[in-house]
Structure 1
Amino acid sequence: MDTNGIVNEVDRTYKKVKSLAGWTVDKNVVLTITSYYVTSEREFFAENLNHAMDSLKENSSWLSPLRGNLLPMIAAFLDKPGVDINEETARLFHKQRVLRNEGFRNTIHSYLAALLMTDDSTLYEQEAKNAKSLYNEMKKTHFFLTSDDDYAYAVLLAKKNENPVEHARSMRLYYDALRVKGLRSGDELQWMSQLMTYVDINFEEQLVSRAISILDCFKKEAKVQPLHYPMVAFLTVFGVSNTEITEIIELTHALEDSKLFSWNKEMALSIAMGYIMRELTDSHEEIGVSLIASIELIVQAQQAVIAATMASMAASSANNPANH
């Protein structure tokens, strides 16, 4: 792992993204876009991202949830090598309409969920139905916490085609078990508990212990926040080794030393996790081709939800008179 090379690439890509996105876009969103390009080892071209943003704007109304702070992030997710951006945009809107027809609300999270759907249009309706069935069961087991920010996870996990009742039940078991271990209640813990079922929906106590062990390692060396909970779940179910945890910590420290992260140390850990997880899936043949193919979508969903949450919190804080 070329730590210095990664740090330099993050800094170089951030400057390019910031220059295009402008100063009105939340820094955490810009960092998320930067992380997406760097962790997927994809070169950033301003012209491509600009084209994707224009395409999204041309196809959405002024009141669309796509407009605003998160537009460049969604555009980045459409910016893939060798694709026709206009076709990708049309496909995204088609998928989102199918999700809405199944009862998902018209929010930014239904677009994020649409990104995780297959590109085979003959499967759209069934995928949406399966996702809604799982989402409904998730809502039953955790009524107050389950909302539109769980849409992406419902789509992702429903692809396992498991019994939605049993699947949601395992999620709740993980939530309660992790909560007992001292993790903070809230959306992030809910997302973590959902992702603990990604490889196998059956509740496994040893996975809980392993997740806690990984978190404890990070807490000793880095600024850990609840926003890191879901990524810890990924690392847990993918069987991250202690050596790889050490690499994450080393990369985190190197990023933290960069001026870019002087006020965003929690994002340094997020980017380091994403980068090592990509290496983990690429180098472990036993994980299986299907999981390796899914890793980019997984990282997209997680980073997108985190950035959306951060942007929402920042906007809420700015609009609260008590904070002025």
Structure 2
Amino acid sequence: MTVYDLFKSEGFRASDSLIVAAFQVAAQSQKSDYERVIQRARTFYDSMKAKHFFYTGADDYIFVTMLAITDLDVTASTMRIEKIYDFLKNEFWTKNSVQTLAQLLVLGKSDDAGVDRVLVLRVAFRSEKIKMDKAYTLPILGILALLPVDTNSLIREIDSVQTFLRNQKGFGTFSVTQQELLMFATSMVVSDFADKIKDDMVRAALSTSITSIMIAQQTAMIAMLATTTAAVSSSVSS
């Protein structure tokens, strides 16, 4: 069986996120460990689903898989995710994004100071009129909080890159939303600073996390477009 098929045999549903999750297992695990890692991913997923039934879905597949690849204890890590979630849930309105943010911080082995830094970064970016605390960019704050780079440098670099990108062909306001632009800019900045992270797993996780966030956004946009198209078609035919 392929890694993808092994995931499906454990009850994971077919999705773009599952493809990325399968790739992560194939790329970062020994073949003899595939089943064990996927079973751990299922345990992580079920633990989160039990606590947040409506927030946990296919968009969590990549993160539970990355958690499963590590040597993190499932029970302790799930409790840590929940603790961070409880701490941050009243700070941000998008609860699904808060859960993703909590997963990222645990994956990055963040301590309480790292969690606090998320709030510091939120305020710092907003002071420069950069809104990183929206639905799809909120988890990115977690990625930035894990970087061993000072806040001013992060803001300066991201602001510079997004300004540069906005002036490039194909990145105008009618083609790329502000959240998408921030994700592109952040991915470039994270890539530049990634070498400062000594932990190989954390470094790989940051890169994959941005991919996951982008997939989640594109999936949501496609679903919204499909719903809108169906509504228009229904209106026209009635």
The two structures share one fold, judged by TM-score above 0.5: yes
Task: Work out which of the residue numbers 58, 75, 80 in structure 2 matches 1:165.
Answer: 75
Name the CA distance, whole Å, in 2 between partners of 1:163 and 1:251.
Answer: 38
CA offsets, 1:131-176, max 9 Å, x none? 0011111112212211122111110112223221221121122122
Name the CA distance, whole Å, in 2 between partners of 1:266 and 1:115.
Answer: 26
SS at 1:221's partner residue?
A: coil
Q: 1:126 to 1:147 in 2, by over 3 A?
A: same
Normalising by structure 2, report the TM-score: 0.84
Match for residue 271 of structure 1?
A: 184
Root-mean-square deviation over aligned CA pairs: 2.4
Name the CA distance, whole Å, in 1 between partners of 2:143 and 2:235.
Answer: 35
Task: Work out which of the residue numbers 6, 13, 17 in structure 2 matches 1:109.
Answer: 17
Letter in 1 for 2:96: D
Name the CA distance, whole Å, in 2 between partners of 1:288 and 1:99.
Answer: 27
Q: How does 1:85-104 map onto structure 2 within 5 Å?
A: 94-104=2-12
Match for residue 227 of structure 1?
A: 136
Q: 1:206 to 1:323 in 2, by over 3 A?
A: farther
Give the ranges of 4+ consecutive aligned residues of structure 1 lying more than 4 Å apart after TM superposition.
Answer: none
Letter in 1 for 2:5: R
Q: How does 1:91-240 map onto structure 2 within 5 Å?
A: 94-119=2-27, 120-181=30-91, 183-200=92-109, 204-219=111-126, 220-224=128-132, 225-240=134-149
Name the CA distance, whole Å, in 2 between partners of 1:274 and 1:228.
Answer: 11
Whether the 8 Å contact between 1:256 and 1:265 is mirrored in structure 2 is no
Q: CA deviation at 1:295?
A: 4.3
Match for residue 261 of structure 1?
A: 172
Whether the 8 Å contact between 2:70 and 2:201 is mirrored in structure 1 is no
Q: Percent identity?
A: 20
Q: 1:177 to 1:261 in 2, by over 3 A?
A: farther
Name the CA distance, whole Å, in 1 between partners of 2:10 and 2:2.
Answer: 13
Name the CA distance, whole Å, in 2 between partners of 1:140 and 1:278.
Answer: 35
Name the CA distance, whole Å, in 1 between partners of 2:181 and 2:118.
Answer: 20
Q: CA deviation at 1:314?
A: 2.5
Q: CA deviation at 1:294?
A: 4.5
Whether the 8 Å contact between 1:174 and 1:208 is mirrored in structure 2 is yes
Whether the 8 Å contact between 2:194 and 2:203 is mirrored in structure 1 is yes
Name the CA distance, whole Å, in 2 between partners of 1:309 and 1:114.
Answer: 21
